[in-house]
Each structure stands twice: as C-alpha cells, then as structure tokens.
Amino acid sequence: MRMADKINVVFINPPFCLSTNPRLSVSYPLGLMYIAAALEKKGVKVKIIDLINKRNMRSIISILKNNPADVFGISMLTHNRYEAFKIAKTIRLLYKDSKIVFGGAHPTILYEQLLRSIDVDAIFIGESELSFVDYILNLSEGRDVRAKIPGIAFRNNDGAICCTPGKYIEDIDEIPLPAFHLIDINRYKSRFNTVDFHLITSRGCPFHCNFCSLPAIHKGRYRAHSIARVIEELELIISFKKGNRILFHDDFFSVDSERTRNLCENIIKKGIAIRWSTRSRVDAVDSDTLRLMKKSGCEEIFYGVETGSLKILKNMNKKFEIEDVIKAFSLTKKGGIRAACGIMLGYPGENKETLSETKKLLSLIRPDKVYFTPTAILPGTTLYYDFMRQKLIDDSYWLKNKNSIPLYKMEMNYFSMMREIYDIHLSFKGNFIDKSMLIFNALRNEACFRISSLFDKFI
C-alpha cells in the first residue's frame, strides 16, 4: 500500500516586516513551490500558506488552526526570522504531535543556534527538493531516518546536535517545475495588474564576495538548467496570461555567455514574446551577447557595482575593476538595454573620500536607475566573521534583536551620507521625467535609510 498520500505537509512562508527595504516587491515563494512540486510527484498532499503580507498574529493563528498538518515546513530568511520563530512556537502549542521543520538561507547557516533555542524536529540545509522528499516518504512509512538523509540537522535521542553533510543536486533539471497551482497567482499582481514572474535558470555563483550570503549557502557551486527546461518554464508562465514580464532571478545570470546567447536565440526562434530583466556582473557582458539579449526582450540589467572606490571593491573581494564597470555600462546602454546599478553604502572603510569616488563613478556611467542600500552584515559572510573576530558581534545577535540586521557604524553617519546621496541624484543631468524619477528615488532611498535606522542596529 502507498503511504505517501496518508501524510500531509503544510509549508509556511512567514510574514515579512519591513526592515531594510520599504520598496520590497511581494513575490511568490519559489523555493517552497519547487519542493512542493517534488513532493506532489511522489503523491504527498501539500499546501503552501504564504503569510508574506500578513501583519496580525491573531489572523495567522486562525489560519494555522484551519490548516492542520502532519508536518509543517517553515521557510526563513534572516530578515523574517522572528516571525518564523513565533509561528513555530504557535504550531507547537496547537499541534503537539506534528513535526516542525525549518529551511531557507538563515537556518542553513545558523542551524546549530536554532536547534538549541527553538523546539523543531529538523532543519534542512540548503536546497531541499531531494532531502525533504526523502524525509517525508520515510516518515509516511513510520521511519525516522534523519541521520541518513544528507543535509539535515537535528537533535538525536540524547539531545546532541547532529548534522549530516549536504548533497547538491547535480542535474537541476530533475527538479519538477514549480507548483504554481498551489498559490493564488493573482495575489502577486503589481499595480499594473500584471504579475512579475520570477524564474531561476541556474543556481549558485562561482564568486565569493565578502558581504554575500551565497558562498555560505551554495559554496561557490554553479549549476544551470538546460535551455529546453527554461523554455518549458517560460511557456508555462506565458500560458497563465498574466502578463509577460519575467525576472530572471539567477544569483549570477550570464556566467556562461555562450549559454546566455543560446537561451536568447531559443526565445527568439520560438517566438516567445517576453519582456525580461536580470542581474549580472560587469565583467561578464559583451556586445554580441547584449545584442541577442535585447532582441529576445531584455529591457534591464542590474549590476552590483557596490562602490566607486577601488579600495572598497578590493575589501569586498568583488574581483572586478572600475574599468569593467565603465565598459559594461557603456556597452549595455549602447545595446539599448537599461543599466541599473546597486550601490552599498557604509562598507567598512567608507568615508567622504570613498563616497566622492562613488559619486564620480556614477556621474561617469550615468546609470538608468540607482539603488542605494546600507551594508547589511549577514550571518555566514566573511564580513560577519571579521566583525566576530573583532568582538563587535556574536551569534546571540540573531536571537536577541527580533528581525534587526546589523549595520556598520562608520566614520561618517548615515544621515550625512543621505545628504551626499541627494547630491548624487541631483548631479545627474537629464530631461524633466528622468530628473523627477531620480528625485523620487532619492526620497525613496531616504525613507529606506530612515526605516533602517529605526529597526537595525549599528555595531
């Protein structure tokens, strides 16, 4: 007799209280939709409860009461850890016999601390389509095989914390297409009444920037979907008829320019009419690839430029040069694609001089959009370990400070930096609309910093 259909799983995406970015777009929980699809393929009953924009704990409790499960799987980023903890504690009170597990970026890095402080049955480390399915299928047969499944952390019968080594999915095409039928896609409509679809064509990034969480999650491993699989997912998305805007949300799109060209050629050949945008690195674009990207519907590329200071760029271990930034922006704009740029403010070493280097660079490359963010010190990053060594922070921060993210207390305070940011925006020349947009961006950035300073802590 098949037992898989006797067990039911409820995935929960906890609310996201604004902490660093008031501009956050609400997007569907792709990671959970992948695991849900893998479970359904084995006959397991799954639900996804997306609480992303729920603010009220009472309404969350009533949703939980209406959705009993054998296993509750809670997803967690560092930025919504506090809500995830509260939900786990509530489920424990409501359903004493159900299993509760965590997964996602934050528990992948801090599983030990979480097992010591929160009553959960297991924590899944990294990508979990295989490991979680394995866990559930065994559980449905009454077997507890946690110690044998790769990429799980748990407490054994003696209370000791055990962690099995993780295993990456070599061929990511084996993972079924995300389970779109488990979410209400209309909830994710933008103000233009269309959905911004998120699609991941590859996983991981071969670089090791010092502020980024990815090296701790994917350990520098990069794997790509086949072009045929990406086209299949695009065709599925288009069949929903909710607009044709796609965000290729790879950690680093265009790692391999030949593959990128191949993908674009296939989109063109198959007549897939999409408007898309993505993220890339300034040292990974060339004019031929950009031409094909444009032809296949690419409207915007976001580059993590981070700073105009070579000294800070080196401190970050970004591994590109200022010349690469200038070249990439020139090629992208010449190719008719909007070039957006992310700048991190307040990285250790930031001062008036480095800021003016950033200003100089921005006025040279003249990006179509600039996103300024304060430098967040995320767990598992080299930056975080540097601060730990200096005894400026330790792991207890993540339990004591709700959802707060630490920021670095620099020579220069954030408010004088904000004034500098206004200057940067106003120094851009352009037509009235461009200029109005830039001023709007400046105001938005200011709001973003003010909110950060309310929630986040300086160390």
Interface with ligand B12 (CB under 6 A), residue from 20, 296, 332, 404: 20
Part of the chain binding ligand B12 (CB under 6 A), chosen from 123-131, 221-229, 258-266, 354-362: 123-131
Does the footprint of ligand B12 cover residue 78 (CB under 6 A)? yes
**Number of other CB atoms surrounding residue 116 within 10 Å:** 12
Q: Are the CB atoms for 213 and 105 separated by under 8 Å? A: yes
User: Closest Cα to residue 414, out of 387, 381, 450?
Assistant: 450
Bridge partner list, 304 = 342
User: Closest Cα to residue 52, out of 198, 188, 223?
Assistant: 188
Cα 322 from Cα 361, distance rounded (Å): 8
Phi, then psi, of 278 in degrees rounded to 5: -160, 180
Interface with ligand B12 (CB under 6 A), residue from 115, 120, 212, 230: 212
Interface with ligand SF4 (CB under 6 A), residue from 49, 74, 212, 410: 212
Interface with ligand B12 (CB under 6 A), residue from 15, 104, 151, 367: 104
Does the footprint of ligand B12 cover residue 24 (CB under 6 A)? yes
Interface with ligand SF4 (CB under 6 A), residue from 40, 251, 324, 368: 251
Crossing angle for the helix pair 352-365 and 322-334, to the nearest 10 degrees: 30
- Give the residue carrying structure tokens 């930096």: 417
Closest contact distance (angstroms) between CB of 376 and ligand B12 is 7
For ligand B12, the binding residues in 319-378 under the rule CB under 6 A are 378
**The token pair that represents 34 in the structure block:** 């992948």
User: Closest Cα to residue 65, out of 45, 95, 101, 99?
Assistant: 95
C-beta closer to ligand SF4: residue 188 or 408: 408
Which contiguous run of DSSP H or E holds residue 304? strand 298-306
Closest contact distance (angstroms) between CB of 292 and ligand B12 is 23
Strands 161-163 and 152-155: antiparallel
Interface with ligand B12 (CB under 6 A), residue from 37, 48, 69, 103: 103
**The token pair that represents 310 in the structure block:** 């070579």
Part of the chain binding ligand SF4 (CB under 6 A), chosen from 73-81, 146-154, 183-191, 202-210: 202-210
Could you tell me the end-to-end alpha-carbon distance of the chain, in angstroms, rounded to an integer?
57
Cα 64 from Cα 49, distance rounded (Å): 9
For ligand SF4, the binding residues in 284-323 under the rule CB under 6 A are 304
Closest contact distance (angstroms) between CB of 314 and ligand B12 is 20
Interface with ligand SF4 (CB under 6 A), residue from 72, 180, 188, 207: 207
Interface with ligand B12 (CB under 6 A), residue from 127, 306, 350, 357: 127
Which contiguous run of DSSP H or E holds residue 352? helix 352-365
Interface with ligand B12 (CB under 6 A), residue from 3, 61, 77, 185: 77
Residues making contact with ligand SF4 (CB under 6 A): 205, 207-209, 212, 214-215, 251-252, 281, 304
Residues making contact with ligand B12 (CB under 6 A): 16, 20-21, 24-25, 27, 29-32, 34-35, 52, 73-75, 77-80, 101, 103-106, 124, 127-129, 132, 198, 200, 212-214, 217, 249, 251, 378-379
